[in-house]
Amino acid sequence: MLHNRHTLVYLNDVARTALLPAVIAALPEPMRNCQIEARVRETVLRERIPGIVCRPTGPCPDGGGQIGFSFPFRVGEARVRAAVGVARDQITATLTPWEVMVLAETLGDVLHPAIGELHRIGVATGVEIGLIGSVALRAVTGLAYTRPDSDIDLVVRAARPDQLAALAAAVHDLTLCTGTAFDIEVELAGGIGVKLSELLSGSDTVLGKTITGVELVSRARIDETLVFRAPAGGAGSELQSPKKQAERRRLWM
């Protein structure tokens, strides 16, 4: 099944057409009107935006999973979103947050002035930095997902806690310099995601997110069994071009 949260999923055109009614039906009630539905239809079919692997909230096809569509428009302050179940054979490609960051680095300041600094921080600290959220969607689609005050959402992997502490300090300095806020999740072994701020807080338990839900994770369990995920050869060292990676990667295990 689809099990890696934050991974972008691309569907074939037949699947997009077939799933469109379910996408529209999954819109929150206040967002269901002719204008919004027309924009959703155009964005899904013509712009071919990717979905994002997320925790299933309903039945999913065997061997498949759930993806959430996040659209580049809002109703008031609320972004338009919808989630649907997808089958394995409806998927043409996937793109991980780390592959998205490689693409973002090629765009540099055109995407966001902080991207180059994040690359340097990753190299200096030994932390592998992945890009998620609205900035990631803008990077892969070119659509207006971000606003001038948008946060940058990251997911990171490291081999040791001291690397994460160094990352937190460097990103704090970057926030002071740029005014950009960063929301950082750490991916632990076992696919558990924990907020960096919680992980470094020293609390006895932290809130962990997985593809199946949320749970309280004890500090002892993190130290003894989950440990930290060592980057696969360093940030981006094994990556080909994002297009080739998108064609090659699959989430099936």
d(CA 251, CA 31): 31
Do 229 and 191 touch, CB atoms closer than 8 A? no
> Do 102 and 139 belong to one domain?
yes
Residues of the chain with pLDDT > 90: what percent? 83
- Total count of domains within the chain: 2
Residue 249 lies in a domain: no
Give the pLDDT confidence of 232-251 residue by residue, as tens digits: 544 333 333 444 444 433 33
How would residue 225 be classed by pLDDT, with cut points 50, 70 and 90? Answer: confident
The whole-chain average pLDDT of the chain stands at: 90
> Do 82 and 104 belong to one domain?
no
> Do 87 and 115 belong to one domain?
no
Question: Of 95, 122, 156, which residue sits at a domain end?
Answer: 95
Residue 172: exposure state from Cβ atoms within 10 A (0-12, 13-18, ≥19) = exposed
State the angle between helix axes of 97-107 and 133-141 in degrees (0 to 180), rounded to the nearest 10: 60
Residue 213 lies in a domain: yes
Residue 251 lies in a domain: no
HSE at residue 156, side-chain half, CA atoms within 13 A, is 33
> Do 84 and 101 belong to one domain?
no
Residue located via tokens 């300095």:
173
Residue 244 lies in a domain: no
Residues of the chain with pLDDT > 70: what percent? 91
Give the pLDDT confidence of 189-217 residue by residue, as tens digits: 888 999 999 999 989 999 999 999 999 99
Task: Quote the pLDDT of residue 1.
Answer: 75
Task: Quote the pLDDT of residue 115.
Answer: 97
d(CA 199, CA 201): 6
Q: Which domain holds residue 212?
A: 97-234
Question: Of 55, 77, 95, which residue sits at a domain end?
Answer: 95
Residue 223 lies in a domain: yes
Residue 144 lies in a domain: yes
d(CA 202, CA 85): 38
Task: Quote the pLDDT of residue 235.
Answer: 38
Instruction: Give the predicted TM-score (pTM) of the model.
Output: 0.90
Residue 176 has pLDDT above 70, yes or no: yes
Strand ranges (E), the chain: 8-11, 51-54, 65-75, 78-86, 91-95, 128-132, 152-157, 182-187, 193-195, 205-209, 214-218
Residue 1 lies in a domain: no
Task: Quote the pLDDT of residue 121.
Answer: 98
| Higher-pLDDT residue of 219, 181 | 181
How would residue 231 be classed by pLDDT, with cut points 50, 70 and 90? Answer: low
Residue 112 has pLDDT above 70, yes or no: yes
> Do 87 and 131 belong to one domain?
no
